Amino acid sequence: MRRRNAAILVLLFLTAAVLIVAPMVGMHALSWRDVWLEGGQGHKIFWELRLPRVCLAWVTGATLGVCGTVFQALFRNPLASPDMLGVSTGAAFGAVLSIRLGLTVSLLPGLSGLSVPAFLGAGAATAVVCAAGSWRRGGTSSLLLAGIAVSFLFSSLTLIVQYTGNYVDTFRMARWTMGSVQAVGFGALWTTLPALLFILAVAVFCAPELDLFLCGEELAESRGVSVRRLRLGLFVGVSLAVAASVSACGPVGFIGLMGPHICRRLVGPVHRALLVASALFGGTFLVVCDTAARTLWAPAEIPVGVLTSCMGSFFFLWLLLRRERRER
């Protein structure tokens, strides 16, 4: 218990430190005097560009961390993540199809015109996975296989749309599918923050049932848990939360895989603490990656999804090697 509380306090401290420092870092370094001097360039950069971007990155990373924790509990598979179940690829297909057709819909100021098509694509992917997974007859294995199949399907459709586009549209498609946190104003937070609060509240409320899931569906049913209803509700809720995040920032991979694993070593397998720790770690990690992405190669910018995927691939290989050593 003490170790768990200490780990969460450390994550809270790191989160606060990163959120304070990150908006000050960039191609144009800011001072606190610039921030509070109204009408100055530093004031506009901080309040209209950097702070909204940092907040959006943290909320997106926290959402992916929470969703990854829930997926790994539902499937009892430490390698399960939102990236592998078709939600991200469905959002990518919706975005590239919108670019190809020249259709953009912006509901809020500061929100990308591709956000609504991307959300609809992710929702369509979720519906297909639910239908193909045969909820009433199949279990977690059939759902996982359906998610992988749908992910490949939408990836193929995305490539077809990209192939038929002109050079300008193809570049925009490729740029979006790399994942990038770009925000002007706080408009994007009106879609991502409610998604985070909703899925975090639901997951924390269902944490005891998720703990039972780790021991097997039979044990959970014997304790009075409606496995089918819980699995369906959490899967749809998590998928919609991921869809809101991906629609705002594009596919940002591997945070939902890395966060739960690292936090599980810090706070243990109890899901109430693990969900909070995963949210803190995921948000802080994405803010750090996004800050590095916009400063390492300034004035050019590296898509943050490239950095997270690069780091996540090495982490994924480490997990596989670690599991192989355990089996020996």
Domains with residue ranges and CATH for the chain: 2-327 (1.10.3470.10)
Distance CA 261, CA 69 (A): 9
Mean pLDDT over each residue of the chain, to the nearest integer: 84
* Residue 299 CA to its chain's centroid (Å): 26
Tens-binned pLDDT, residue by residue, of the chain (328 aa): 778 889 999 999 999 999 999 998 887 777 777 777 777 787 888 888 889 999 999 999 999 999 999 988 888 877 778 777 788 888 889 888 988 888 766 655 555 667 788 888 888 888 888 777 655 455 667 777 888 888 899 999 999 998 888 888 888 888 888 888 877 677 778 878 998 999 999 999 999 888 888 777 777 777 777 777 888 888 888 888 888 888 888 888 889 888 998 999 899 889 999 999 999 999 999 999 999 998 888 777 888 988 998 888 888 788 778 776 766 6
State the pLDDT at residue 196: 93
Query: Is the full-model pTM beyond 0.85?
Result: yes
Distance CA 273, CA 255 (A): 18
Structure tokens at 54: 């940092």
Q: DSSP state, 102?
A: T
Q: Tens digit of pLDDT for each residue in 47-102?
A: 888 899 999 999 999 999 999 999 888 888 777 787 777 888 888 898 889 888 88
Distance CA 138, CA 42 (A): 56
Question: Most distant CA pair in the chain: distance in Å?
Answer: 64
Structure tokens at 280: 């803190």
Distance CA 181, CA 204 (A): 27
Asked if the bond preceding 269 is cis, omega within 30° of 0, the reply is no
Cα three-residue angle 208-214-217, rounded to 5 degrees: 90
Distance CA 241, CA 296 (A): 30
Give percent above pLDDT 70 in the chain. 92
